[in-house]
Structure 1
Amino acid sequence: MHDEIARLARHVAPRGATRAGAIADLARPVLVVGSTLPVGELEVMFRRPEVGSVAVQDDADTTRTGIVTRAGLTAALTGRLGYGRAVLERRPTGAVADWSPLVVGPGTPVADVAGLAMSRTAVRRYDDVLVPGPTAWGAASTADVMRAVVAELADRSTHDPLTRLPGRAATWYALSRRCELVRGGATRVVLVLLDVRGLGGLNAERGQDDGDALLVELAARLRAAMPAGCEAGRVDGDGFAVLATLPAMDDLRAAASAEALRRHVLAQLADPPGGWDAVVWPALHSAAAWSVAGAADADELVAQAERRLLRERRAAVLV
């Protein structure tokens, strides 16, 4: 199990680019004590519940740093025969410190730290990770590191890695959930599909990096343009979707509201932002579909919107 987590951690993201962030984001200030501090005084520090570990500076060699964890100190004080406290109370802290802790730079990606942590021996696998700072030391718990990795894996399984919008499966699931929630009532669900015109030509003429940059910019503007309660997703290479739920209304008002949402989204995306050439900024095909009162069905909404989108594409070709 530990090896599996380590493998997953290493593949969360390219080195230096993990969305889980750098380890400095998880590190918290840690107490630093000298190696000659009596263990009895160290034990007093651990009476504070927020202290999970203490960094130890070697008084004879300031370049050497160790760590004492709560679990490690408890085990040492208990001792094999129960006499650990009596034996160690006056001994220096250096005698109970781990002088080979996992120390990583503050900019190290969390995914890399998770892999390193899981590769440690079973005894030390869940010890805190030490993070040196410009003026003080920090420590990150391995539990926090692994939670960050798991959250990143979950996010990557549902979101498009380029635009950071929910992907196709997550978007259609969200649509299904909306339909389930309104089924049997007069509340409506609206689906707007958007199709970027000429993306293939842009990729061929200017390179895929420019095409990717365009999609990222479109996604950012789409996200910013969402009215309250709406959500957007990337459902195809050049396709986006917008989901909305309307209050109870008749068919005419539902059609008008869906059309108003489609026009609003298009208006927010029509003009190129600063720094973008108007010649490059694309036009969009679009289509809206809305559910029938009392019978919202996600598959039918998608099919209906795609049929309308196809008709618009064909009409654009004939113009």
Structure 2
Amino acid sequence: MHDEISRLARSVASPRATLAGVVGDLSQPVLVVGSTVPVGQLEVLFRRPEVSCVVVQDEADPRRTGMVTRAGLAAALTGRLGYGRAVLDRKPTASIADWSPLVVPPGLPVSEVALSAMARVDERRYDDVLVAGPTWSSATTADVMRSLVAALSDRSTHDPLTRLPTRAATWHALAHRCGLLRGSGTRVVLLLLDVRDMAGLNARHGQGGGDAVLAVLAGRLQAALPRGCEAGRVDGDRFAVLATLPAMDDITAAASADALRQHVLGELAVPPEDLEPGRWPALHSTVVWSVAGVGNPDELVREAERRLLQSAGGLARAS
């Protein structure tokens, strides 16, 4: 099991993956006790359900830090013959502390924490992780793993560069919208936006420069969407916007769909103030909409792609 978790952590720990965040985001304040505190008093602290571990500070050497977990305390108090509590009640906490816990800085990526946690010996593998900061805190290994799984799930549906839904996720959302029509008078709108001369932009400013423009463009697009719309990155330099129109006649639907297209293009036309105008791309665009109460997602995508190709070809001939 821990080998599978380690592979997951390595996957999420790729250079461009920061979705899982840092361990400081998962940590909670933890109690600190002196190493001479009797185990009997320590047991009282663990009666509070929110306490999963405590930090043990060596009173003889402040540089030495240990930890006692709930499971570790329970095992010690049970003892091999069942006499642990009677033997340990007045002994110092130092006698049952783990003096080599996993201690990490708050800014360490969760993926790296998971790798270190899984590298521990079997009996310590799922112990809490201590987070050293201005004050001590801890993160449970379960929370670390949940964060990894959430990051992997997010990566499978969202583009890591633009943070927009991927093509698969976008077309799934389109199919879902079409499925909700069910003979009603509503319609689904699909708007496609294609960055003009993306290859030239990369050639002039490098791949990193092109990626930076796409990321800013995606953020602007997301901010420009009216309520109820959603956007996705459906190709390297292509974005899609989905919308649902209320019941209306064909002429009004056509006007509404084009109004959405013009609104989005208007919001994206002006380059950001901190970006030189020559680096801000122009866009090809096209919009299609379904028949009232009927929506075939595949047909909408094919028609939008066909119109976008015709639009780009016409502009190329004109230039």
For the aligned pair, the TM-score class normalised by the smaller chain equals: over 0.9
Contact 1:13 1:19 in 2 (8 A): no
Answering whether residue 154 of structure 2 is matched by residue 160 of structure 1, we say no
- Which secondary structure state, in structure 1, belongs to the residue aligned with residue 180 of structure 2? helix
The separation in 2 between residues aligned to 1:125 and 1:253, in whole angstroms, is 63
Change (3 A) 1:255 1:188: same
The separation in 2 between residues aligned to 1:144 and 1:4, in whole angstroms, is 16
Answering whether residue 302 of structure 2 is matched by residue 292 of structure 1, we say no
CA shift, 1:16, in A, is: 9.0
User: What's 1:308 paired with?
Assistant: 307
CA shift, 1:196, in A, is: 0.3
Cα shift readout 1:27-82 (whole Å, capped 9, x = no counterpart): 11100101110000000001111111000011121111111111111111112222
User: What's 1:139 paired with?
Assistant: 138
CA shift, 1:19, in A, is: 2.2
Unaligned runs of 5+ in 1: none
- Aligned counterparts, 1:151-300, within 5 A: 151-300=150-299
The separation in 2 between residues aligned to 1:137 and 1:280, in whole angstroms, is 47
User: What's 1:64 paired with?
Assistant: 64
The separation in 1 between residues aligned to 2:159 and 2:217, in whole angstroms, is 13
The separation in 2 between residues aligned to 1:15 and 1:47, in whole angstroms, is 42
- Which secondary structure state, in structure 2, belongs to the residue aligned with residue 36 of structure 1? coil
Contact 1:15 1:109 in 2 (8 A): no
The separation in 2 between residues aligned to 1:292 and 1:236, in whole angstroms, is 26
Unaligned runs of 5+ in 2: none
User: What's 1:11 paired with?
Assistant: 11
The separation in 2 between residues aligned to 1:249 and 1:312, in whole angstroms, is 27
Contact 2:188 2:290 in 1 (8 A): yes
Cα shift readout 1:218-256 (whole Å, capped 9, x = no counterpart): 001001101111110100111000011111222222111
**Aligned-pair identity (%):** 68
- Aligned counterparts, 1:36-55, within 5 A: 36-55=36-55
The separation in 1 between residues aligned to 2:13 and 2:297, in whole angstroms, is 33
CA shift, 1:147, in A, is: 0.7
Letter in 1 for 2:105: G
The separation in 1 between residues aligned to 2:212 and 2:72, in whole angstroms, is 50
Contact 2:229 2:244 in 1 (8 A): yes
Q: Which runs of 4+ in 1 moved over 3 A?
A: 13-17
CA shift, 1:15, in A, is: 5.7
User: What's 1:86 paired with?
Assistant: 86
Q: TM-score scaled to structure 2, two decimals?
A: 0.97
The separation in 1 between residues aligned to 2:15 and 2:159, in whole angstroms, is 19
The separation in 2 between residues aligned to 1:122 and 1:83, in whole angstroms, is 25
CA shift, 1:13, in A, is: 3.2
RMSD: 1.2
The separation in 2 between residues aligned to 1:16 and 1:169, in whole angstroms, is 20
Contact 1:188 1:292 in 2 (8 A): yes
The separation in 2 between residues aligned to 1:121 and 1:296, in whole angstroms, is 56
The separation in 2 between residues aligned to 1:74 and 1:184, in whole angstroms, is 62
Size of the alignment, in residue pairs?
Answer: 318
Letter in 2 for 1:64: R
Contact 1:16 1:109 in 2 (8 A): no
CA shift, 1:315, in A, is: 1.1
